[in-house]
Structure 1
Amino acid sequence: MSVEPVRHRASGLAFALAAALFFGGAGVAARPLLDAGMDPLQVTWLRLAGAALLLSPMALLQWRVLVRRPLLVVAYGVFPMAGVQALYFAAVDRIPVGIALLIEFLGPVLLLVWFRLVRRSRVAPAAAVGVVLAVVGLGLLLEVWAGMSLDPVGVGLALGAAAAQVGFFLLSDATGEDADPLAVIAIGSLVAAVLLAVLARPWTIPWGTLSESLPLGGTQVPGWAIALWLALVCTAMAYFAGVGAVRRLSPQVAGGVAYLEVVTAIVLAWVLLGEALSTVQVVGAVVIVAGAFITQTAVPSRPSADEPGLVPATDAAGADPRAD
């Protein structure tokens, strides 16, 4: 049984911002590998397999977590790691990337619905308002009205990715004293790499690319260094920071703040790859940041008087259960 996490805004925001930076930088870091001939699923498999390899010592040291919490560990590999990636890439094969990404990031909205209707939890108004604002801002940032096409199967696959994203927030909140987050990520990444190997077919990856120097941000970087960065920073560290954010902010609040990942990705692409932002996209980014700011106000910032340095644990909706 996992220990109820302590919610705390300052440390939670630090983890959330780190997660947004690490996850958001994946697209920019992957661009040289994609331009060199790898397809998106191959790069994704490389990230997950690399993370599994780097974290293998932790997996070996903490193997008992697989005995104590087998469903948690396997589900983490299946849904937030393999599921989101596979369903998203299947969706973009049928509908525009911007629309697929917008639908995928409806995950925090589905999360609010889950807690309100299924768990019957009170949702903090700030969390709901912030998530709605973030969705609107995301639509502006991605300019989803351009090239609008709604293939029913593609939409269904993108909604599946959104549901798998919900799994990330719920499962991350379930880690605790008996399930070290890094151990869960280590074994989960191995499960995801095995599952995605069927789709990515790693034996067809142009492995020679990793020994070449590839252009990134106006300089030449070895392909193996890019792959290492994707595995260590954009996967292992990103998921660890994401789990830390969820456990300190609550799933819904972390979900609202997670929209900063898209802003980070767009800004990094602008700075490092020269991909210009339109006025509408800048407005969308500002709206997302505003939504994230409003969402995080649902988390207490002052320590509890009962135990210095800690705050009362909120329920998973980001509201103090004693307030009802």
Structure 2
Amino acid sequence: MNTEKYDIVIIGGGPIGLACGIEAQKAGLSYAILEKGCLVNSLYNYPANMTFFSTSERLEIGDVPFVSNNAKPTRNEALEYYRRVAIHRKLNVRLFEEVSEVTKSDENYLVKTRKKNYEATHVVIASGFYDIPQKLGVKGEDLPKVTHYYKDPHFYAFQKVLVVGANNSAVDAALETWRKGADVTMVIRGEGVGERVKYWAKPDIENRIKEGSIKAYFNSEVEEITEGFVSIKTPEGIVKIENDWVISMTGYQPNLAFLKKVGINLSADEIMKPQYDENSMETNLPNIYLAGVICGGMNTHSLFIENSRVHAERIIEKIKSNFD
């Protein structure tokens, strides 16, 4: 298998991975960006009608303006923007190349994918957190009727839909499928919808629940899923409802097992935050860096595109100092 050599290999072709590539390019360093799926794969898997909470200028990378039709850009606008950034910057992105392992090779690191090997002095891991859904852990969760990724509401028209979750993705799925004619029920573990729900969606979902258009069980959990029904554990006891589809929007988690396999230390608590230097983003492994939301471990709501773009600058500054 052929081995390509670079100064830097960047694992992850999302916005922050692309930002790292741009900074490497500016510094005159050779690099390759390896992405397991399509370009900005995480954003591609967002709901089709999703609107960002951030304004467009906060999503910009590489000094390329992001022009949106509205104050809050949509998923489709973001996909188009980052594709144009990749074209404009002529970024060296290798798509559909999932990294299987990173090992030490003399003074460098060997990064393996199914297609080929890459050797680099420095490795940046910017793999995001959208790959592994948080499972419910109940009987029937693996049935074909259950999905952890919601895309388009039309599919659920005139169907009995159960939405599990209380935050933005769950609220969007409930409202959009209901507006396409679905009979929607929500199961929410807490006393109400999440505090992080977008300010324009929160009163909408609360009013739909209040008027009874969307049924909601609070302080409740799914107990079992079958082909035709879902059993819900509520404060009043078990409720069994007819059901065609379950949309489980209970969140996602980064591939921390991969970090551990590479040799990056994780905190011993439930957050499992990776060890890295806040100034350089370098981990406990020399010349291996973290960028983006992966830095937060299981605390996936602490970092976003807008507040982790700076990671790319910190990393390349540190790498440049190594070459001086």
For Structure 1 versus Structure 2, the TM-score category normalised by the shorter chain is under 0.3
Larger relative contact order (Cα-Cα within 8 Å, sequence gap ≥ 6): 1
TM-score (norm 1): 0.24
TM-score (norm 2): 0.24
Q: Larger Rg: 1 or 2?
A: 2
Structure showing the higher strand proportion among its residues? 2
Structure showing the higher helix proportion among its residues? 1
